[in-house]
Amino acid sequence: MSFEFIPTRVFYEPGVLDYPLGKTLVERFRRMGVTVTPTASHNRITGIPGNTPAAAYREAKRTLVIGVRRSEMFQSCKPSAHYQLPLVTSCPGMCEYCYLATTLGKKPYVRVYVNLEEILGVASRLIQERLPEITQFEGAATSDPVPVERYTGALKQAIEFFGREPNGRFRFVTKYTDVDSLLDAQHEGHTRFRFSLNCEEIVDKFEHGTPSPEERIIASGKILEADYPLGFIIAPIFRFEGWQEAYRRLMERSAEELAKRAPSGWSSEQLTLEFISHRFTSKAKTNILGVFPNSSLPMEEEMRKFKYGQFGYGKYIYRPEEMKEMKEFFHAQAKCYFPLAHVEYFI
């Protein structure tokens, strides 16, 4: 199945017309028959319809905003990277547990920037400031950057920029599979391409508008064949009837595809694995139920352990004995299917 993102409406800051990419995008969407409207600021968009939280969310996910990023600074991105690389915000997917639904507000519209050279210029300065250390940038802190890549080419440009930077590294994560345009990028091993995976039972129920696990696994094989450093994030992990077998199958199928596609000399030593168990905050639960009133996400507080978070609000995680069982299970799966992989964490 193809997940071509075609926005219903596009807003643009007039300043984007000063950049070749901005001009091309505005003309392209007009030619496609999409409603294209100027807006004063890419931060305050009025004109996205929707009277209920659910309708506003859906309409926002079909809205693309094209802007110019003026700030000379990037947000920090501890502990996974030093900085966020701001290329895209949000994504057209509608995963019920997406944390961006909490952080991006009620209308998480998709936003892209057209001044890529300037953005990468800031990255270059930040790399210089930390020499001789290596500086890591995360490209998916507030987005899934792949669905809009067909329009902007921003990821490819960033990947090739980091390919030329001996002291810069790039990483991002995606659930999307439209990766062919990135296969010939000159990455020089400086970009780690991570795929977010889950078992079919979970993707079908909760990750609306995203490719199937099988499609993601096939895309990860292509990325490995193109010699990128690769990683899998299995998240969020749920306990349900048959969860062990479902996740075991996912790991087995991933290992089978990678074995087929791996370049000669590749070993699972070069693979990173991240495991994140499902957790929720009271605020996220309220938001999720506003947008997905019939959600079947397991969010019963009494079934979980309450844990205070570092930012003052607490979250509901699985109980300690359940966590222990899950952690042991995933470490054992990693050992079995990717014996040398680097398990970054299980949380």
**Positions that interact with ligand SF4 (CB under 6 A):** 91, 93-95, 98, 100, 144, 175, 210
Asked if residues 233 and 196 have their Cβ atoms less than 8 Å apart, the reply is: yes
Complex with ligand SF4: residue 16 or 101, whichever CB lies closer: 101
Complex with ligand SF4: residue 95 or 159, whichever CB lies closer: 95
Closest contact distance (angstroms) between CB of 144 and ligand SF4 is 4
Complex with ligand SF4: residue 3 or 266, whichever CB lies closer: 3
Complex with ligand SF4: residue 13 or 144, whichever CB lies closer: 144
Complex with ligand SF4: residue 22 or 93, whichever CB lies closer: 93
Closest contact distance (angstroms) between CB of 120 and ligand SF4 is 22
Closest contact distance (angstroms) between CB of 39 and ligand SF4 is 23
What angle is formed at CA 143 by the lines to CA 137 and CA 149, rounded to 5 degrees? 90
Closest contact distance (angstroms) between CB of 174 and ligand SF4 is 7
Distance between CA atoms of residues 295 and 205, nearest Å:
9
Distances in Å between the Cα of 316 and the Cα atoms of 79, 133, 292, 293, 299 are: 21, 37, 19, 20, 8
Distance between CA atoms of residues 196 and 173, nearest Å:
6
Closest contact distance (angstroms) between CB of 209 and ligand SF4 is 8
Complex with ligand SF4: residue 152 or 270, whichever CB lies closer: 152
Sheet strands side by side (includes 230-237): 83-84, 135-138, 168-174, 191-197, 230-237, 271-277, 342-346
Complex with ligand SF4: residue 66 or 91, whichever CB lies closer: 91
Closest contact distance (angstroms) between CB of 175 and ligand SF4 is 4
Q: Which DSSP state fits 76?
A: B
Distance between CA atoms of residues 278 and 99, nearest Å:
11
Helices (H), 142-212: 149-152, 154-163, 200-206
**Cβ contacts of 248 within 8 Å, gap of 6 or more:** 333
Sheet strands side by side (includes 110-113): 35-38, 9-12, 63-67, 110-113, 88-89
List the one residue out of 49, 45, 50 whose CA is nearest residue 64. 45
Complex with ligand SF4: residue 68 or 91, whichever CB lies closer: 91
Closest contact distance (angstroms) between CB of 72 and ligand SF4 is 26
Helices (H), the chain: 20-31, 53-60, 100-103, 116-129, 149-152, 154-163, 200-206, 213-225, 243-261, 282-291, 320-337
Complex with ligand SF4: residue 162 or 195, whichever CB lies closer: 195
Closest contact distance (angstroms) between CB of 112 and ligand SF4 is 14
- SS3 of 288-305: the string is HHHHCCCCCCCCCHHHCE
Show the tokens assigned to 276. 């994140």
Distance between CA atoms of residues 63 and 6, nearest Å:
9
Closest contact distance (angstroms) between CB of 307 and ligand SF4 is 22
